[in-house]
Amino acid sequence: MYAGSRFRDVVDALFANPYQQVWGRPGEPALPNEAVTTRSVFGGLFTRHRSARFEQASARTLDSHADLRWGPDRKGFRRLLHPNAVCLTGMWEITGDSPYSGYFAKGSRALVVARYSSGAGGMRRGEIRSLALVGKLFPATDPEHATPLRTANFITQEDIGGDRTPTINAAELRNAPDVTVFRRGPAATMLIKVASVFRKVDQEPTIRQLYPIAELGKAPGEATRAPAFMRLLVSRDQPVIAGDHLDVRDEVLAQIFDAGDPTPKRTLRFDIEVTDEGKTTGSPFRVRRSFQNWRQIGAMVFDNAVASYNGDAVIHFTHPTWRQDRNDASTATRINNVKVK
């Protein structure tokens, strides 16, 4: 039974086993780069229960609300998708007028732990990659809060099929990304199968609704009012990190640290924008989404970061099950770990 977590416990776990004791220091090992292939996601041809492997993992991302999943050997679980990332810690704050509930309401401030990763097979500038930022909000502002708290998670990503976005400053991360399947090249068939499994265990494979944040800290009996769409943009005054073929993890870490110095020197800010006006067009292989009236209501400011084993294998971000009405829990696709719609 999930009873919540302490922010400090999650942060301590993330920083317990960094790949580099001091990022960018001469002599530190290279950051690992786990490849994502059909075999790594679905298992080899002769893997027992091959067809169920990814389906079971997908169901766990929906049904498990744990913030840390240690596993029986305390080594966590290898992510089948987006295995390589950098984790960040900071603060979520809503400062603009907002008609929404929970931690989308004006004046909300929450501790946040996030994970910035890349999919679509690429990690470096110039490669086809799909940048993504997922996060969890703790309804507190004291990093040392003593009582475990239930968290709310969000999922944002650029084109699921991948893009050649040159820097994190240029990436538009949305809870409803575009999908260009055949941009994956030979790996397109894997993406099609992934989407098929997502639809089998839930319903909508490419949009992650935002109601968990709108319900976090909400008063009993208060109606849920969640935005339909959210996008996260690196703030305009954030510098662009120079470097050809730069690993996205190094790019994120360079926003906060000087190479070889363990003390954070700067912050990395993302603007939070929302809208309820969006339209989906195209085919399942080329999904395009257009939006109107984006408005900035707040920001996330990160002041520390780490690339670590626990950040890749132990921390867990729950994917919200699809609701026919995002504001009505009775319309959920999965209830008590079972698909009912």
> What value does the mean pLDDT take over residues 21-31?
97
Q: Can you give the pLDDT at residue 186?
A: 64
Query: In 100-109, which positions are buried (b, 16+ CB within 10 angstroms) versus exposed (e)?
Result: bbbbbbeebb
> What value does the mean pLDDT take over residues 138-142?
98
pLDDT at 251 over 90: yes
Q: Can you give the pLDDT at residue 45?
A: 45
Closest CA to 130 of 139, 141, 119: 119
> What value does the mean pLDDT take over residues 169-186?
90
Q: Can you give the pLDDT at residue 49?
A: 52
Distance CA 14, CA 16 (A): 6
Q: Can you give the pLDDT at residue 198?
A: 77
Of 55-64, 155-164, 276-285, the range with the lowest mean pLDDT is: 55-64
pLDDT at 184 over 90: no
Of 111-120, 165-174, 181-190, the range with the lowest mean pLDDT is: 181-190
> What value does the mean pLDDT take over residues 241-252?
97
* 71's tokens: 């596993």
Closest CA to 225 of 236, 233, 234, 216: 216
Higher pLDDT, 63 or 99: 99
pLDDT tens, position by position, 37-78: 666 666 654 445 555 767 777 888 888 899 999 999 999 998
pLDDT at 332 over 70: yes
Q: Which residues contact 330 (CB under 8 A, 6 or more apart)?
A: none
The residue count of the chain comes to 341
pLDDT, the chain, mean: 92
Of 179-193, 194-208, 248-262, 325-339, the range with the lowest mean pLDDT is: 179-193
For residue 318, CA distances in Å to 63, 135, 137, 151, 265 come to 7, 9, 12, 10, 31
> What value does the mean pLDDT take over residues 246-274?
98
